[in-house]
Amino acid sequence: MSAEVPQDRPARQDLTAAGIALVASRGEAAQAAAAMLRRRYHFAEEREARVLVALGGDGFMLHTLHQMLDGGEARPVFGINRGTVGFLMNEWRLDCLGERIADAKAVTVAPLSMRARTVHGDEWTHAAINEVSLLRETRQAAKIEVSLNGRVVLPELVADGVLVATPAGSTAYNFSARGPILPLSAPLLALTPIAPFRPRRWSGAILPDEARISFRVLEPADRLVSAVADQFEVRDVEEVEIALDHDRSLTLLFDPDQALDERIAAEQFAT
């Protein structure tokens, strides 16, 4: 005779056949939620997964996606917010996880590719899902020459910095710097100055996503500048080149009523 399952404790749902694995940030809330989910569901091993459930905040989602870009296998990710902001995540619910993933709306995003050369001659390449930003390192404002597709379009920007954002990242640092919100499906990039001093009236530009954007730091030995691709920083840069990498797309999964494209559109009406 088989043992009966207590009425107040539902049988664990098996998600291994669907190839769904669970990963979680080290945060207390994420770890507690992971324990609850593991009591409710059987998950596949991460190495065998076809879909990842990521528990945490936006930072952990970016970390998970960057692991794929840095050599891991690209798989759709269903994020669940157990962190701070959670703009890239779905809301936390314990029930119906398999059904939510089956009904989820897939959103494809392409990362930026950054190539940075330092004043010491070192070269670094890194991807950015949200934005690449150049930021002054000292009390002195940065002086930066801006080129578009090999042509100088701004001989000298004097500012705290400048950034290039994807549509997915346009509601993050870009929006805080008064940059435009870009529809997720739009083939566009945002070029946004950070606290510009000269030229005062330049508020940035909206560029086609085929654009190649280059920055050359003027007086790089005295006015030190760092380049940051999402969470990866290169200090003392002299030149930075940025372009969208159409060959390395990533897939995020969202509940249909809370999809990323709808959230980005709604941000334009937030008060």
**C-alpha span between 29 and 84 (Å, rounded):** 10
Q: What is the pLDDT of residues 52-102, one digit of tens each?
A: 999 999 999 999 999 999 887 889 999 999 998 889 999 999 999 999 999
Does the annotation flag 81 for ligand binding? no
Q: Known catalytic residues?
A: 58
Average pLDDT of the chain is 93
With cut-offs at 50, 70 and 90, classify the pLDDT of residue 2: very low
Does the annotation flag 185 for ligand binding? no
Does the annotation flag 106 for ligand binding? no
pTM, to two decimals:
0.89
With cut-offs at 50, 70 and 90, classify the pLDDT of residue 268: confident
Does the annotation flag 171 for ligand binding? yes
* Among the listed residues 12, 15, 14, 74, the one whose alpha carbon sits nearest the alpha carbon of residue 40: 12
Does the annotation flag 102 for ligand binding? no
DSSP state of 11: P
Residue ranges and CATH numbers for the domains of the chain are 13-109+249-267 (3.40.50.10330), 112-244 (2.60.200.30)
Q: Which residues contact 228 (CB under 8 A, 6 or more apart)?
A: 132, 133, 134, 135, 234
Confidence (pLDDT) at 110:
95
**C-alpha span between 145 and 149 (Å, rounded):** 13
